[in-house]
Amino acid sequence: MCRVPSRVQRVTVRVRSRSPIGGTLFLDEVGELPLHLQPRLLRVLKRREIKRVGENKYRRVNVRVIAATHHNLKHAVKEGLFRADLYYRLAVVECHVPPLRERIEDLGLLIDGMLRLIAGATGWSVTEPDAPTLERWRRYSWPGNVRELRNTLERYAVHGDGHVSLTGNRSFTNGHA
């Protein structure tokens, strides 16, 4: 994942192998990329090449790019905050994913999938949420969206000492709900 806060002064792609560079590049919060750095990203996308730190020559890359943002990039283009050419380079296929609070019916599926990932990574056993707990979680607004849900589940895992149990009446979000 590539996070580029607005204070970053350069975009760096680190490559460890000498083989052709390929795969998927996920640009998280691409709408936060400062205007003066956007031409660098555009160059990578247009020419499909990068220059390693400390090298003088460019290397070809073959990557699929997935970009995510919570900003309205069309509006940012109109406001002069995001380059139009970069926007059109990225906007080949757009997929709007509504926030969790607008698709709360997906909560059970998301919990199940994330618990499987946590259990697979840790080898811990998992207890699915009981009906009252799931209902209480559905009433919560999840302002941090799916990331907050994942962090909450991981918090349960850390406190679970080898077992993740989502039952009972304990608080689940750093003092909220």
Residues 69 and 122 grouped into a single domain = no
Query: What's the pLDDT at 169?
Result: 53
Of 90, 118, 150, the last residue of a domain is: 90
Q: Are residues 25 and 62 in the same domain?
A: yes
Mean pLDDT by 10 residues, the chain (177 residues): 39 48 84 93 89 86 88 95 95 89 92 88 80 88 90 80 61 52
Q: What is the pTM of this model?
A: 0.63
79 and 130 belong to one structural domain: no
Domain endpoint, select from 70, 90, 110: 90
16, 78: one domain: yes
pLDDT of residue 70: 86
The predicted structure's pLDDT at residue 90: 94
Range of the domain at 56: 2-90
Same domain, 36 and 54: yes
Establish if 40 belongs to a structural domain.
yes
Question: Amino acid letter at 11?
Answer: V
